[in-house]
A and B are shown apart, each in its own frame.
Chain A
Amino acid sequence: DTEVTQTPKHLVMGMTNKKSLKCEQHMGHRAMYWYKQKAKKPPELMFVYSYEKLSINESVPSRFSPECPNSSLLNLHLHALQPEDSALYLCASSQLNDRVPGELFFGEGSRLTVL
């Protein structure tokens, strides 16, 4: 299984809603990532989990809250978002090796619209 699965594929939410994005992989990868991608822009790193611990937080607003319950799952909890947070949220995973970075395997993304 070389897939990273993201749900939901599409999400529309109001600014007062609480929702979650979910990501799952069964490749044994111990690094998992959240990227945000706006239209016609590159993926922008948000968070990295290494061995289920948050290792990189790119100064993301607290209305985005990541969670890594186990080595296969990654969540992104959303609360009190703004319309400018509308974007494609990509989850990725990779092997973890301090010396040799690994290929990122991306999910199909969750397209979020904040009204």
Chain B
Amino acid sequence: GENVEQHPSTLSVQEGDSAVIKCTYSDSASNYFPWYKQELGKRPQLIIDIRSNVGEKKDQRIAVTLNKTAKHFSLHITETQPEDSAVYFCAASRNNDMRFGAGTRLTVKP
């Protein structure tokens, strides 16, 4: 089955700085790569996703890049704000089998 690795496990940045989280996956047949944000006590919420036929996608301060050859994808958050503090999960999906990375706890210090 799919194995998703995520780094770093914790990330602390100053407000206004950029944050980068990286993931690798094992199953070359995976074709959908979402990123979820989970605040304490809340459900995971989709923040951005990318499909295997696209190399990069951007939505305001958030961008995702995908390298299918190397089987890795990254989340980039620019101009971070305190409300970006949360746990971020990457995931990889083949058909409807979605597996999550271990998560990154992002702290944005004001």
Binding site for B on A (CB under 8 A): 31, 33, 40-45, 48, 50, 55-56, 90, 94, 96, 98-104, 106-109
Binding site for A on B (CB under 8 A): 31-32, 34, 42-46, 49, 51, 89, 93-103
Q: Nearest Cβ in chain B — how far from A14, in angstroms?
A: 25
Q: A109 to chain B: which residues have CB within 8 Å?
A: 43
Q: How many Å lie between the Cα of A101 and that of B97 in the bound state?
A: 9
Cβ contact of A108, chosen from B34, B43, B99, cutoff 8 A:
B43
Chain B's closest residue to A44 (CB) is B100
Q: A41-B102, A42-B101 are in contact. Are A104 and B94 (CB under 8 A)?
A: no
Q: A42-B89, A90-B43 are in contact. Are A104 and B102 (CB under 8 A)?
A: no
Interface centre among A56, A96, A104, A107 (most CB of B within 10 A): A104
Q: A41 to chain B: which residues have CB within 8 Å?
A: 102-103
Q: List 15 A-B contacts (CB under 8 A).
A: A31-B96, A42-B100, A42-B103, A43-B100, A44-B100, A45-B97, A50-B96, A56-B96, A90-B43, A90-B44, A100-B32, A101-B95, A101-B96, A104-B46, A106-B44
